[in-house]
Amino acid sequence: MKTSVLSPLVLAAFTLVTRLLFHGPPYFVDGPAHIRAILEKVYIIQPPGYWLFNRTAGLFADPVIGISTMNVFFSVAGVVVFYYAALFFTGRRSAFLAALAYSSVFYIWFSGEVHSTHTSQVLFPVATFLTLLCYEQDKANWKLWLAGIIFAVGAGLRPSDGVFLLPMLLYYSAARLTRRKAIFFLALIFSLCLAWIVPTFMAYSHVAGGIHGAFAYTRDIATQKSIAHKVNAESMANITRFVLPILVAFWPVLTVAVLNAARNWKDWRTRMLVLWIVPGSLFFTLSYISDAPYLNFLSAAILLLAVSAPRLMALTALSNAIVFLGFVPIPSSRLPVNVWNCYIGHFTRYGVKDQWFPNLSALQGSRSPGGDHNEPKN
């Protein structure tokens, strides 16, 4: 697989400049809580704690700069790594356009501008997948072990997304590895994950509520808006928070991705991509999703399934850039308009610039989507 360095350099420069150009202060969701946990040397917030993320950011003298630096790096590296993964499926031009679309997805772009853990998943899932593709080329064992290391680190930064990706790795271990290598591969991942699991549990043992409080919080989050628990306005809103950003981000390529998945189902790589997407999607729709950046971890897989459609990729990049750069709140008391304001418009340049944190119920009671309606969602 021959390639020049020009395309990845252009992609890296584009991603770096766009993230630095629209970067904002800490405000989004858990950003202030992460910074407080680092300054207090607790290194955990609510479950799953994010001990590894906060401990890494704590290595910087200023945790605000630390998180910003990490997220800009994750953004730039993730787009470049995606480009090299796409080259396993298509030519340079199509891979470049797909990577450009990946960088431009409005909620991925937003994630790189704020202080949260979500941006780590722009890099680590696709880096794990790429390393496994490279391992398939020459069966060099170090590439397999590197894939395990990359996955363990990514799972440590966002443990829930690590759980969602486990079915993909279990399938790969069963379908592509000898039993001996599969055991070593999974044992390596488990051992490395203990390096952040143990400190996380130890940290929870020293905070109010302890381990039992953490499990109770997790149970409540996973059931309070679940359609599997009850069909009501909250559970339907939960599904909308998943479906609408997916449609807005990927409407030009979704049909191609689905058709390619069906057409190429016998290809183990296609099965990996589907297993990358489905488990987390089921959890988000049946149980709980809060914000569009939760979708970071599966976005690369959707684009890789549709990487053979370069014109549609260019349209995907353009439409997402228009959403991110062009959104302004639409004053209205109509539900569809305010769903757009909250579930799409929130994750744009406007949201970063104005530290805008809209609440749907508050907007429905007001003619204006601005004002004092910036309280976080539960």
Per-position DSSP letters for 265-279, written without gaps between them: TTSHHHHHHHHHHHH
Q: Which residue has the higher pLDDT, 288 or 271?
A: 271
Q: What share of the chain is helix, strand, coil (3-state, %, to 5)?
A: 70, 0, 30
Residue 95 has pLDDT above 50, yes or no: yes
Residue 210 has pLDDT above 80, yes or no: no
Pairwise CA distance, residues 346 & 351, whole Å? 5
Report the pLDDT value the prediction gives residue 218, as an integer from 0 to 100.
64
Contact 102, 79 (CB under 8 A): yes
Residue 205 has pLDDT above 60, yes or no: yes
Q: Measuring CA to CA, which residue among 74, 33, 102, 48 is closest to residue 321?
A: 102
Report the pLDDT value the prediction gives residue 374, as an integer from 0 to 100.
39
pLDDT, mean over the chain: 91
Domain coordinates in residue numbering, the chain: 6-229
What is the percent of the chain where pLDDT is above 90?
78
Report the pLDDT value the prediction gives residue 206, as an integer from 0 to 100.
75
Q: Going by C-beta distance under 8 Å and a sequence separation of 6 or more, which residues neighbour residue 97? A: 310, 313, 314, 317
Question: Angle 357-358-362 (CA atoms, 0-180°, nearest 5)?
Answer: 140
Question: Cα-flanking dihedrals φ and ψ of residue 180, to 5°?
Answer: -65, -45
* CB-CB neighbours of 188 under 10 Å: 17
Q: Measuring CA to CA, which residue among 87, 166, 151 is closest to residue 120?
A: 151
Q: Going by C-beta distance under 8 Å and a sequence separation of 6 or more, which residues neighbour residue 263? A: none
pLDDT band at 362 (very low <50, low <70, confident <90, very high): confident
> What region does 41 belong to: left with phi over 0, alpha with psi -120 to 50, or beta?
left
Residue 238 has pLDDT above 70, yes or no: yes
Pairwise CA distance, residues 188 & 192, whole Å? 6
Residue 367 has pLDDT above 60, yes or no: no
| SS3 labels along 276-316 | HHHHHHHHHHHCCCCCHHHHHHHHHHHHHHCCCCHHHHHHH
**DSSP string of 199-231, one letter each residue:** HHHHHHTTSTTHHHHHHHHHHHHHHHT-TTT--
Report the pLDDT value the prediction gives residue 215, as an integer from 0 to 100.
65
Which range (53-67, 157-171, 213-227, 359-373) has the least confidence?
Answer: 359-373
pLDDT band at 360 (very low <50, low <70, confident <90, very high): confident
Joined together, the tokens standing for residue 347 give: 């994750």
Report the pLDDT value the prediction gives residue 371, as an integer from 0 to 100.
38
Report the pLDDT value the prediction gives residue 213, as an integer from 0 to 100.
63
Report the pLDDT value the prediction gives residue 375, as an integer from 0 to 100.
37
Residue 239 has pLDDT above 60, yes or no: yes
Query: With b meaning 16 or more CB within 10 Å and e meaning fewer, what string describes 138-154?
Result: eeeeebbbbbbebbbbb
pLDDT per position as a tens digit, 128-151: 999 999 999 999 999 999 999 999
pLDDT band at 332 (very low <50, low <70, confident <90, very high): confident
Q: Which residue has the higher pLDDT, 261 or 332?
A: 261
